[in-house]
Amino acid sequence: MDAKTCLNQFRTEYQHRFKVGTLKNYCSDINQFLQYEDKAIDKITKRDIRNWLTFLSTEKGYLPSTLNNKIKALKNFFCFCREEGFIPQDIAKDINFVYREEKLPRYLTKEQLTALRELLKGKIQERAVMEVLYCTGVRISELIAMKKSDVNWTERTITIPNGKGDVGRYVLFTSECEQHLKAYLDSRTDDLPDVFVLSNTVGVTKHPNVVGEWFRYYSRSLGVKVSPHTMRHTFAAHLAQKGMPLECIQELMGHANFQTTRIYAKLYDHARKEMYDEWM
């Protein structure tokens, strides 16, 4: 069968199994491979996949994380093709993921966090976004999806109904965060249900790139790399330094992937050691 036809059927079959962005990325990666090989689906071999990955690594300089995403896409695709009878066996089943060295996630020191807060004085919306990212540890996609109805002001909690992997949870926020979040909401004149209505010079938008633009400016101003995800790492590191057990931190962050948990276990150990060194 024609490989592009198989891809179209894969896209149709999996449109309700994956999130829109995930499926789009998978199909893009699969299409990239099919264009490289340009063979009938039943003529593609395991060696073809390995040759393509080698090409991407050596000729294109793709990072292990990017290669692993492409491998994951091919594994889903060829598993589907085998189940549908398009190919006699799943040729991607035994393709191993690329080893990548686990780097310690970057996070801000207390002094750097203080400098960031100083930089945001008078910027009501940006300060509220930063405080929620830092105090809750949520992902940027979760922050953008927040609704006012998700906030429990009495308990100072926010419900995250559909986190990564559709895993629901609730997160906590501090009284300082509450102060800045209320100040931002009180400054709004709209009646939209969203907690954050992000805006730039163009106008209202829900795209996370707006927040990304802010953080790129913070990085230049502070002379230290900082992003929305840096705030998530900072949340975890600072809680570890204060003595919160790793299991509790992982629950608040909504980790469903063991590999991610391992990385944050290293972050936890590093943060605790930094605090020990400071005490000693």
**What's the pLDDT tens digit per position in 215-259?**
999 999 999 999 999 999 999 888 888 878 888 888 888 876 555
Kindly list the strands in the beta sheet with 151-152, ordered across the sheet, starting from the edge strand earlier in the chain. Answer: 151-152, 157-160, 169-172
Q: How far apart are CA 124 and CA 122, in angstroms?
A: 6
Most confident range, picked from 51-60, 124-133, 268-277: 124-133
Grade residue 184 by pLDDT with cuts at 50, 70 and 90. Answer: very high
**pLDDT at 204 (0 to 100):** 46
| Angle in degrees, CA 251, 208, 71, rounded to 5 | 70
CA distances from 223 to 67, 91, 187, 216, 232 (A): 31, 48, 31, 10, 19
Kindly tell me if the per-residue pLDDT of 163 is higher than 60.
no
User: Average pLDDT, stretch 2-10?
Assistant: 91
* CATH homologous superfamily for the domain 110-279: Intergrase catalytic core (1.10.443.10)
Mean pLDDT for all residues in the chain:
87
Grade residue 269 by pLDDT with cuts at 50, 70 and 90. Answer: confident
User: Average pLDDT, stretch 20-37?
Assistant: 93
Kindly tell me if the per-residue pLDDT of 267 is higher than 80.
no
| Angle in degrees, CA 217, 202, 177, rounded to 5 | 55
- Both structure tokens of 38: 């340009």
> Smallest Cα–Cα separation from 237: which of 156, 142, 134, 164?
134
User: Average pLDDT, stretch 42-50?
Assistant: 94
**pLDDT at 82 (0 to 100):** 94
Grade residue 261 by pLDDT with cuts at 50, 70 and 90. Answer: low
Grade residue 202 by pLDDT with cuts at 50, 70 and 90. Answer: very low
Q: Is the pTM of this model over 0.85?
A: no
Kindly tell me if the per-residue pLDDT of 199 is higher than 70.
no
**pLDDT at 278 (0 to 100):** 62
User: Average pLDDT, stretch 110-115?
Assistant: 94
Q: How far apart are CA 85 and CA 195, in angstroms?
A: 48
Kindly tell me if the per-residue pLDDT of 83 is higher than 50.
yes
Query: How much of the chain exceeds pLDDT 90, in percent?
Result: 60
Query: How much of the chain exceeds pLDDT 70, in percent?
Result: 86
Q: How far apart are CA 44 and CA 49, in angstroms?
A: 8
**pLDDT at 273 (0 to 100):** 75
**pLDDT at 100 (0 to 100):** 67
Grade residue 105 by pLDDT with cuts at 50, 70 and 90. Answer: confident
**pLDDT at 258 (0 to 100):** 54
**pLDDT at 237 (0 to 100):** 86
* Class (C level, CATH) for 3-83: mainly alpha
Grade residue 201 by pLDDT with cuts at 50, 70 and 90. Answer: very low
The residue extents of the domains of the chain are 3-83, 110-279
Better-predicted residue by pLDDT, 126 or 256? 126
